[in-house]
């Protein structure tokens, strides 16, 4: 796959799991694709979306997510109307060796798990150290990064943990309520569109589509509108190179907090008491 090295590289590499919401990323990619086709006259910023990660061998839903990513990539990467300005890449057999290539190339680090579900996570720290700006929910180590760099140097969106926990406790989330909002239905329906079905597996795509509409246990749709809006804000900032680089430098400078030396010293002081 030929990529424009001057494109904006948006990267999500992590274990494939429903709570990490790779599907939310894919839905945004579909929305971007639809917008580019609807308004071909615009000067669209070239963007490359890279996803990678492994799934448990028996985790059926994760495998369906991988299939969906590749189906969407096949549609977008072969659509000549885009002029190469939008590319989607799923890199198989993710490993440390691949991470050494992918992470330094990233402009945006996607850390979009459903709030309250990510115990910690360290990938976002590696991206931060390499100059990628974090786009994420207040979940896992995103909370600490947010506190370190300041809200002006990170892109936070979505419902917070207490809201999500309450929705689980009260069964208050109904995915169809969000599906019927402006702009969401069109994007979700693309999963069972003729363009995608002819390249993928109809039964598999319909099952995934029905899961989103009737279950969506990890609330993919609840944050879609805010996620899309935050991406647009991020893109506008990226086009201001001085502003963007100031944010990058702030993130790199603050990444030292996550060093193993500081972490081990704190564990020793608070927990181990070895001295």
**CB of 84 within 8 A of CB of 122?**
no
Query: How confident is the model over 91-145, as pLDDT tens digits?
Result: 999 999 999 999 999 999 999 999 999 987 789 999 999 999 999 999 999 999 9
Q: What is the dihedral of CA 147, 144, 118, 53, to 10 degrees?
A: 110
Q: Is beta strand 155-156 parallel, antiparallel or unpaired with respect to 133-136?
A: parallel
Q: Is the dihedral of CA 213, 215, 218, 219 positive or negative?
A: positive
| pLDDT of res. 200 | 82
| pLDDT of res. 122 | 86
pLDDT at 87 over 80: yes
| pLDDT of res. 78 | 96
**CB of 8 within 8 A of CB of 238?**
yes
pLDDT above 70 covers what percent of the chain? 100
Average pLDDT value over all residues in the chain: 95
| pLDDT of res. 127 | 97
Across-strand partners of 52? Answer: 13, 91
Mean pLDDT over residues 35-52, rounded? Answer: 97
| pLDDT of res. 11 | 98
Query: How confident is the model over 190-216, as pLDDT tens digits?
Result: 999 999 999 889 999 999 999 999 999
> H-type helices in 9-102, by residue range?
22-38, 60-77, 96-102
């Amino acid at each position: 796959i030929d990529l424009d090295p001057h494109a904006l590289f948006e990267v999500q590499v992590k274990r494939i799991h429903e709570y990490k919401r790779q599907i939310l990323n894919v839905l945004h990619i579909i929305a971007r694709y639809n917008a580019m086709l609807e308004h071909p006259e615009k000067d669209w910023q070239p963007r490359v979306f890279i996803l990678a990660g492994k799934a448990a061998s028996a985790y059926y839903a994760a495998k369906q997510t991988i299939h969906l990513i590749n189906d969407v990539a096949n549609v977008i990467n072969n659509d000549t109307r885009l002029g190469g300005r939008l590319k989607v890449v799923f890199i198989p057999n993710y490993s440390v060796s691949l991470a050494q290539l992918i992470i330094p190339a990233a402009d945006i680090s996607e850390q979009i798990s459903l709030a309250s579900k990510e115990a910690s996570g360290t990938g976002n720290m590696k991206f931060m150290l390499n100059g990628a700006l974090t786009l994420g929910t207040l979940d896992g180590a995103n909370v600490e990064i947010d506190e370190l760099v300041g809200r002006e140097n990170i892109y936070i969106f979505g419902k917070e943990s207490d809201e999500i926990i309450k929705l689980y406790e009260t069964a208050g989330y109904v995915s169809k309520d969000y599906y019927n909002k402006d702009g969401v239905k069109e994007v979700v329906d693309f999963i069972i569109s003729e363009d995608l079905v002819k390249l993928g597996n109809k039964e598999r795509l319909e099952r995934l589509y029905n899961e989103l509409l009737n279950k969506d246990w990890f609330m993919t749709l609840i944050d879609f509108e805010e996620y899309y809006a935050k991406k647009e804000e991020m893109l506008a900032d990226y086009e201001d190179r001085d502003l963007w680089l100031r944010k990058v430098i702030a993130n790199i400078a603050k990444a030292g907090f996550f060093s193993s030396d500081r972490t081990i010293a704190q564990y020793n002081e608070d927990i181990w008491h070895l001295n």
